[in-house]
C-alpha cells in the first residue's frame, strides 16, 4: 500500500536535492532499514518499503516532476499499489546500480574482457665510463608473446572461440541473492565472454606463449642509478586483443676504482707525498676523457679540495657537465730506511725550534687541549 508521507521527508531531503543526493540518501536508509539487518524490528520492513517507494518516484525525472506539481495524486496511478519484496523487476536494476560498489555488480561496473599486457623490468649494470659516453647494446629477455599458431585467439587453427552460453558473451552474470541482484564474473568463461572447445596445441588455449626475444637498447650518455629506459610495447602481450605492456630497462652503476658519482659531479681521492704537500708542485690526475694537471701550492693539507670545472658528467636531463672534485690525502711514507729516518728526525728537530710557524694547526690544537684541561 502506497504511503501518504512526503517522499522528500522520508529520505530526509529538501525539494532542491540533486539526483546524486537522492541516491546517497536512499543507499544510506536502505542499508539501515533492510529487513535482513533488522530481524527483531517488525517495523523495519514497512520503513524499508517507504524508502524504496520514495526512491522509485524521486529518482525518475518524470515521476518526480508530477509529484512536485500534484503531490501523491500525480503519481498514484504509476505506483500500482503495494509492492512486495518479490515484485521489483524495474527496481532491481536501480538497486543493483546503487549497491554495485558493495557487491561487485551494477551495470556501470561491467568490466571489459580485454586486458593490457604486463609491464616488464630488466636490470642492467653498466660501468661509469659507459654511462659517461652512452652506448647501444642488445638484450635477451623471456616474455609472453601472442601465439602465432592461433593469432592470440586460443582456439585451434581453423576454429573460432564460441560465445559463452552462460553470460551470452558479456563475461558477467546476474545472480539473485534474496532481495539483492548481484552481478559477478561468469564462472564458465572466467570473464572472457568466450569458450574454447578445441584449444590451440601451442598455447593450450591461453593465446600466449613464452619466448625469448632479442632487443636493441640505446643507453643515452649521462644515465645514473635507477634511471629507466622505456621500450614501448615490448612487454608481455595483452589478452583477448589487448595492447602489449612496456619494457623498462633500469640502470645500476658498477663501483668505479677511482671516482664516485654525485649527480653530474665526480669525486676522487688524490694522494700526494709529504714533500709535494710541503713544497708544492704539479701533478696529473685522471678524468673520464683523459687526464688533467693540478698545481699544488706549498703547505697543502689533507682534506684540501681542488675542483676541475666541466670534468664531471652531463646528466641526461641537464645541459652542462658537472665538475671533478679532487680531495687531497697527504700520504705518510712507510718502510723507511736508516737514511730516510735520520732526514725526518732532522726535519722534526728543525720544526720544534719554531713549531708555531711550521705547524700552525698542530700548535693551535695543543693550545685548545691545554685550555680544556686547565
Q: 254 phi and psi, to 5 degrees? A: -70, 155
Q: 249 phi and psi, to 5 degrees? A: -95, 115
Q: What is the pLDDT of residues 9-20, one digit of tens each?
A: 899 998 888 988
Give the pLDDT of residue 93.
44
Give the pLDDT of residue 117.
86
Query: Looking at the DSSP assignment, which residues form a beta bridge with residue 199?
Result: 155
Give the pLDDT of residue 73.
73
* φ/ψ bin of 70: left (φ > 0), alpha (ψ from -120 to 50), beta (otherwise): alpha
Please say whether the beta carbons of 261 and 284 come within 8 A. Answer: no
Give the pLDDT of residue 99.
46
Q: How far apart are CA 62 and CA 150, in angstroms?
A: 52
- What structural domains and CATH numbers belong to the chain? 7-98 (1.10.287.110), 120-161+196-253 (2.60.260.20), 256-332 (2.60.260.20), 334-374 (no CATH)
Residue bearing cell 593490457: 116
Q: 307 phi and psi, to 5 degrees? A: -105, 130
Give the pLDDT of residue 183.
76
Averaged over successive runs of 10 residues, the pLDDT of the chain (374 residues) comes to: 78 89 90 82 86 89 82 61 38 46 42 76 95 95 86 86 84 69 78 85 86 93 95 86 90 96 96 93 93 94 95 94 96 92 88 70 65 68
Give the pLDDT of residue 91.
45
Amino acid at each position: 500500500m502506497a504511503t501518504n508521507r512526503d517522499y522528500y521527508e522520508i529520505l530526509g531531503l529538501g525539494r532542491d536535492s540533486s539526483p546524486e543526493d537522492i541516491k546517497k540518501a536512499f543507499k544510506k536508509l536502505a542499508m539501515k532499514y533492510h529487513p535482513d539487518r533488522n530481524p527483531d524490528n517488525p517495523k523495519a520492513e514497512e520503513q524499508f518499503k517507504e524508502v524504496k517507494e520514495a526512491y522509485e518516484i524521486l529518482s525518475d525525472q518524470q515521476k518526480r516532476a508530477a509529484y512536485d506539481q500534484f503531490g501523491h495524486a500525480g503519481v498514484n496511478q504509476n505506483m500500482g499499489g503495494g509492492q512486495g519484496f518479490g515484485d521489483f523487476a524495474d527496481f532491481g536494476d536501480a538497486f543493483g546500480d546503487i549497491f554495485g560498489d558493495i557487491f561487485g555488480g551494477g551495470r556501470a561496473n561491467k568490466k571489459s574482457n580485454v586486458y593490457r599486457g604486463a609491464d616488464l623490468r630488466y636490470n642492467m649494470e653498466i660501468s661509469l665510463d659507459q654511462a659517461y659516453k652512452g652506448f647501444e647494446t642488445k638484450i635477451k629477455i623471456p616474455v609472453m608473446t601472442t601465439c602465432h599458431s592461433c593469432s592470440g585467439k586460443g582456439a585451434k587453427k581453423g576454429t573460432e572461440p564460441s560465445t559463452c552460453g552462460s553470460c551470452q558473451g558479456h563475461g558477467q552474470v546476474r545472480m539473485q541473492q534474496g532481495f539483492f541482484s548481484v552481478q559477478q564474473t561468469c564462472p564458465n568463461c572466467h570473464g572472457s565472454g568466450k569458450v574454447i572447445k578445441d584449444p590451440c596445441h601451442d598455447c593450450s588455449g591461453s593465446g600466449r606463449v613464452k619466448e625469448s626475444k632479442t632487443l636493441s637498447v640505446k643507453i643515452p650518455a649521462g644515465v645514473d642509478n635507477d634511471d629507466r629506459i622505456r621500450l614501448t610495447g615490448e612487454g608481455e602481450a595483452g589478452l583477448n586483443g589487448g595492447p602489449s605492456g612496456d619494457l623498462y630497462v633500469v640502470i645500476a652503476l658498477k663501483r668505479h676504482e677511482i671516482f664516485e658519482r654525485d649527480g653530474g659531479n665526480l669525486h676522487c681521492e688524490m694522494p700526494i707525498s709529504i714533500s709535494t704537500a710541503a713544497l708544492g708542485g704539479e701533478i696529473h690526475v685522471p678524468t673520464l676523457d683523459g687526464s688533467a694537471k693540478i698545481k699544488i701550492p706549498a703547505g697543502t693539507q689533507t682534506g684540501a679540495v681542488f675542483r676541475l670545472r666541466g670534468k664531471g658528467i652531463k646528466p641526461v636531463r641537464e645541459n652542462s657537465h658537472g665538475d671533478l672534485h679532487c680531495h687531497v690525502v697527504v700520504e705518510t711514507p712507510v718502510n723507511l730506511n736508516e737514511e730516510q729516518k735520520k732526514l725526518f728526525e732532522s726535519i722534526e728537530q728543525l720544526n720544534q725550534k719554531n713549531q708555531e710557524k711550521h705547524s700552525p694547526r698542530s700548535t693551535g690544537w695543543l693550545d685548545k687541549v691545554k685550555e680544556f684541561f686547565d
